[in-house]
Amino acid sequence: MTTLPAAPPLTQLDALESEGIHVMREVAGEFERPVLLFSGGKDSIVMLHLARKAFWPSPVPFALMHVDTGHNFPEVIEYRDRVVAEHGLRLVVASVQDAIDDGRVAERADGSRNPLQTVPLLDGITANKFDAVFGGGRRDEEKARAKERVFSLRDEFGQWDPRRQRPELWDLYNGRHKPGEHVRVFPLSNWTELDVWRYIEREQIELPAIYYSHQREVFLRDGMWLAPGGWGGPRPSEMLEVRTVRYRTVGDMSCTGAVESTASTIPEVIAEVGASRLTERGATRADDRASEAAMEDRKREGYF
């Protein structure tokens, strides 16, 4: 028996970071044209941070793609553009507005553009011939995601077929695919919401300001505080009021709710998330409340 070296086991965050870096390097080694989906949300920001670590001192060897619903928080777009410039990255924008203008998708009666993102996303992947698409999805988010692979094969229609997924053993990720197919890759698969926040704290990663407590005009719809905007809120029956809020997730303005919060620093947010009795999607995402299998259905169609 070999004598054990004195090295202690990695901490949880070090282990998760090392796994995420390993996944990113596997993609760089196996694929021709990877792309990182970047929404300006905390998960995609952490992914970008891992990518910078994985290839240092080389620059990040792939582009970012933002699926732009047109209903963005201005703070998030400002953050996106600043980060892209700072790190010399290439940004591809897949626009929902463009897809509406040329008739690929139709505006919905409720004004939400969240479900409309799938078509421009898939068109953006096809037009740019991306073969690996990094997503910030985590298995703790939702029960259909709990069975997601790190490397998730999508057919030429971008569809996810849970029965066609490949078993993943050890750290051997099989990224082989036929022309026209692509692979979604989830380097944060094993992270929880709290892990993401603890990592942001440890690494001192800057986030868009809307993640922290601020005063905002909001109105209540379906039990969620939504921000007003050109997308169709508030209705005459809905009252605008000023609340002290922050966002737990960043998505389309029409379906991303704010939570009432006074947490204005990372440790305060961590304390709040740790004490919360609601998952982030349950608390802030109208799109996931639609049905028991809402996420599963959207994943099958090619959603993030």
Partner 1 sequence: MGAPTIQLEPTEETQHVTEHATRDLLRLATAGSVDDGKSTLIGRLLYDTKSVLADQLSAVEAATLARGGGEVDLALLTDGLRAEREQGITIDVAYRYFSTATRAFVLADTPGHVQYTRNMVTGASTAELAIVLVDARKGVLEQTRRHASITALLRVPHVVLAVNKMDLVDFDEATFRAIADEFTAYALSLGIPDVTAVPLSALTGDNVVDRSARTPWYDGPTLLEHLEAVPVGRDALSEPFRFPVQVVIRPRTAEHPDYRGYAGRVASGVVSVGDEVTVLPSGKRTTVVGIDTFDGPLTEAHAPQSVTLRLADDVDVARGDVLVPTAATVNVGSDLEGTVCWLAEKRSVLGARLLVRVGTRTVRALLREVNARLDVDTLTVEAWDGVDTLHAVDATDTSSDIPPRALTLNAIGRVKIRLAEPIVLDEYATHRRTGGFLLVDPADGTTLAAGMIGATLLDRLAPTPSDDDDWFAGAGI
Which CB, 59 or 230, lies closer to partner 1? 59
Task: Answer for the pair 36, 8: CB distance below 8 angstroms, yes or no.
Answer: no
Q: Contacts with partner 1 in 35-74 (CB under 8 A)?
A: 52-59
CA 42 to chain centre: 7
Contacts of 10 (CB under 8 A, 6+ apart): 18
Beta bridge partners of 169: 172
Interface with partner 1 by CB under 8 A: which range of 66-74, 103-111, 231-239, 276-284?
276-284
Cα–Cα distance for residue pair 52/212, rounded to 1 Å: 25
Judged by beta carbon, residue 146 or residue 240, the one nearer partner 1 is 146
The residues in 73-132 that bind partner 1, with binding defined as CB under 8 A, are: none
For partner 1, the closer of residues 1 and 106 by Cβ is 1
> For residues 181-240, which are near partner 1 according to CB under 8 A?
189-190, 192, 194-195, 198, 201-202, 220, 223-225
Strands in 85-212 per DSSP E: 91-95, 132-134, 151-154, 182-185
Q: Is 26 in the site for partner 1 (CB under 8 A)?
A: yes
Q: How many residues does the chain have?
A: 304
Show Cβ contacts of residue 183 under 8 Å, excluding neighbours closer than 6 positions.
Answer: 31, 131, 132, 133, 151, 152, 153, 154, 175, 177
Q: Which stretch binds partner 1 (CB under 8 A): 74-82, 98-106, 110-118, 166-174?
A: 166-174
Binding string, 246-275, against partner 1, x = CB under 8 A?
-----------x-xxxxx---xx-xxx-xx
Residue range at the interface with partner 1 (CB under 8 A); choices 72-80, 107-115, 172-180, 230-238: 172-180
Judged by CB under 8 A, the number of residues near partner 1 is 86
